[in-house]
Structure 1
Amino acid sequence: MNTSLNITMIGVPMDLGQQRRGVDMGPSAIRYAGVHERLETIGHTVEDLGNIVIEPAKEEPNTKLRNLSAVLKANTELANKVNEMVKEEHFPLVLGGDHSIAIGTLAGLSDHYSNLGVIWYDAHADMNTSDTSPSGNIHGMPLAISMGLGHDSLVNIRNYAPKVKPENIIIIGARSVDEGEKELIREKGIKVYSMHEIDRLGMTYIMQDAINYLKDRNVDGVHLSLDLDGIDPIYTPGVGTPVPGGITYRESHLAMEMLHESNLITSAEFVEVNPILDEKNQTAEVAVALMGSLFGEKLV
């Protein structure tokens, strides 16, 4: 990552990809935790475009997917905004909102990369389709959709698919993976570092291995999609689907510091901050602190 970046930030107050209300306030909570000032203090130029407007959901009896049309509209708008940011050679930083917004982020990015890499920092694989999803919640589907698997309207945002190749995806922190997702991971040969590997091998090894893996594939950009539930809920209580036994606060900082040093990351999103479930905005503050490490903040 360059020393000084032009960062363009956009909020997506989406809570329609799942069923627990409150995550739509995530972008506001992250801003309240001082993201703009933090990144400017490091030396970056930051422009905040505000929030994408999310339309109210309506009943859709002909699909298993919850709130499909509203999720599609918001992600299409996000994709177009992100596409413009990359055209202008700005670093896109997306604030969520639930993880369904990654559909739009990746759709806006991958137009500009022939071999985009994705680091999915998350307790979940988010690789369900309408056939495998137990809930119909689209926030559990964005990686599958970005690989070209899922509802046609979501898969073909910006009129092409897939957005990312399975062999260019890395999942870090997985510990709650549905059976259908496990099958897909095996079938597509997707690189997954579960909590077992992190515990056994250590975060330094995991991150170096992940960085080398992407470099070996000659990626021409890497998107970081960080779900705050990837981190142990001791540190991030304000998430909709907490899973105990996650990555620690310090391991997460180390991961972000190593990604900064790798100079690979070309875009990022931080998602699933839910202030209603939080304690004194702790989860948003963790998100902003991790952004500090990702964008080059030094302890000394």
Structure 2
Amino acid sequence: MTRLKTAMTIIPVSLIGVPTDVGAGTPGARMGPDALRVAGIVQAIAHFGVEVRDCGNLSGPGNPDLPAVNGFRHMREVAAWNRSVHDAVHAELHAGRLPIMLGGDHCLAIGSISAVARHCRETGKSLRVLWFDAHADFNTASVTPTGNIHGMPGAFLCGYGPSLLTEIGGHVPAILPQDIRQIGIRSVDDGEKRFLAEIGIEVFDMRYVDEVGMRETMEQALAGVASDTHLHVSLDVDFLDPEIAPGVGTTVRGGPTYREAQLCMEMIADTGRLRSLDIVELNPALDLRNTTAELAVDLVESLFGKSTLMRLHG
């Protein structure tokens, strides 16, 4: 029987700006939230009949630009920002809204995803995290080459690290390795590779995408998503090939094309299960005429149901 694909359930959206690059090695991601606003993210989502509330920007400590201490740079500052993110994201979820965290660097996923995991525990939902990134972000203090915490959030969320960062959501670990699927990975440190294998993170790297295609990759990443699933997308814009997304501090060649990235978002929209979103690592200081921010907004439109045609599915 042929049916018309229906749009995702309309849930009011809350934008939460988090203007910090305290977890990154290159400054500039602190300007990301306003670049996304300039690129029209509010209007793009509202176009789909969604009520959008811009909650403004959170505040927190500045970037002290200090060297690592015991394997971590700026741990206390990172913890302060992530506690604020956790509280803001959890409040919007509790109010029945779909929070979009506008970063900021990817260390902020500690706060956003721990809040999502807490909400899932409170509501009895299962959690699926789709982590779009050029990097695995599963470093620990013992294997990190830099101490930059934007390369560590996955490890903290799975309970590996200091309590200051693993306990933000009130439950350790915040998520389990089987809750997360990583897509587009193409830069992993040596120690990180071993750690990923040991704890069993499912990683769809770019070789895998090249071999089977993005459609098959996404079908596997979304396998098991059901009506009781809270689907969280953590979108690091360095997931994209730097030829189309230059405005990031950690570019890695060989990323997905524009159409591959759009297909990812369209297939997520088809599930109707998107309930929270991170957009991180946009660095306007390195961008060209805000093109990377505009591309990120294009992808958000696809997440909310933009398509070329009204598609029929059997």
Structure 1 segments of 4+ aligned residues over 3 angstroms from their partners:
57-63
Aligned residue for 1:13? 19
> Are residue 36 (structure 1) and residue 42 (structure 2) matched?
yes
Q: 130, 150, 163: which one pairs with 2:141?
A: 130
> Are residue 208 (structure 1) and residue 219 (structure 2) matched?
yes
Instruction: Give the whole-Å Cα distance in 2 for the aligned partners of 1:156 and 1:224.
Output: 21
Aligned residue for 1:257? 266
Q: 83, 88, 91: which one pairs with 1:81?
A: 88
Name the aligned partner's letter for residue 129 of structure 1: T
Report the secondary structure of 1:186's partner residue: helix
Q: 75, 100, 124: which one pairs with 1:68?
A: 75
Aligned residue for 2:276? 267
Cα deviations across residues 236-272 of structure 1 (Å, max 9, x unaligned)? 0000000000011110001100000012321111111
Where in structure 2 are the equivalents of 1:161-172 lying within 5 Å? 161-172=172-183
Aligned residue for 1:225? 234
How far did 1:219 drift? Answer: 6.4
> Are residue 156 (structure 1) and residue 167 (structure 2) matched?
yes
Cα deviations across residues 47-68 of structure 1 (Å, max 9, x unaligned)? 0101111312445885431111
Aligned residue for 2:115? 108
* Percent of aligned positions that are identical: 40
Q: 99, 110, 125: which one pairs with 2:106?
A: 99
Ranges in structure 1 where 5+ consecutive residues have no aligned partner? none
Aligned residue for 1:278? 287
Instruction: Give the whole-Å Cα distance in 1 for the aligned partners of 2:27 and 2:103.
Output: 13
Instruction: Give the whole-Å Cα distance in 2 for the aligned partners of 1:57 and 1:182.
Output: 29
Q: Indicate conservation of the 8 Å contact 1:82/1:109, yes or no.
A: yes
Q: 3, 28, 31: which one pairs with 1:22?
A: 28
Cα deviations across residues 79-121 of structure 1 (Å, max 9, x unaligned)? 0111111111100111111100000101211111143211100
How far did 1:298 drift? Answer: 2.4
Q: Indicate conservation of the 8 Å contact 1:168/1:214, yes or no.
A: no
Aligned residue for 1:145? 156
Aligned residue for 1:297? 306
Name the aligned partner's letter for residue 197 of structure 2: R
Aligned residue for 1:239? 248
Alignment: residue pair count: 298
Name the aligned partner's letter for residue 198 of structure 2: E
Q: Indicate conservation of the 8 Å contact 1:107/1:146, yes or no.
A: yes
> Are residue 248 (structure 1) and residue 257 (structure 2) matched?
yes
Q: Indicate conservation of the 8 Å contact 2:32/2:281, yes or no.
A: yes
- Compared CA separation, residues 3 and 298, structure 1 to 2 (3 A): farther
Question: Structure 1 length as normaliser, TM-score?
Answer: 0.95
Name the aligned partner's letter for residue 16 of structure 2: I
- Compared CA separation, residues 93 and 197, structure 1 to 2 (3 A): same
Cα deviations across residues 186-234 of structure 1 (Å, max 9, x unaligned)? 111111111011111111111111111545xx96312100100011000
Instruction: Give the whole-Å Cα distance in 2 for the aligned partners of 1:196 and 1:19.
Output: 27
Q: Indicate conservation of the 8 Å contact 1:100/1:138, yes or no.
A: yes
Structure 1 range deviating more: 286-295 or 14-23: 14-23
Where in structure 2 are the equivalents of 1:171-190 lying within 5 Å? 171-190=182-201
Report the secondary structure of 1:172's partner residue: strand
Name the aligned partner's letter for residue 54 of structure 1: G
Report the secondary structure of 2:16's partner residue: strand
- Compared CA separation, residues 298 and 135, structure 1 to 2 (3 A): same
Q: Indicate conservation of the 8 Å contact 1:167/1:188, yes or no.
A: no
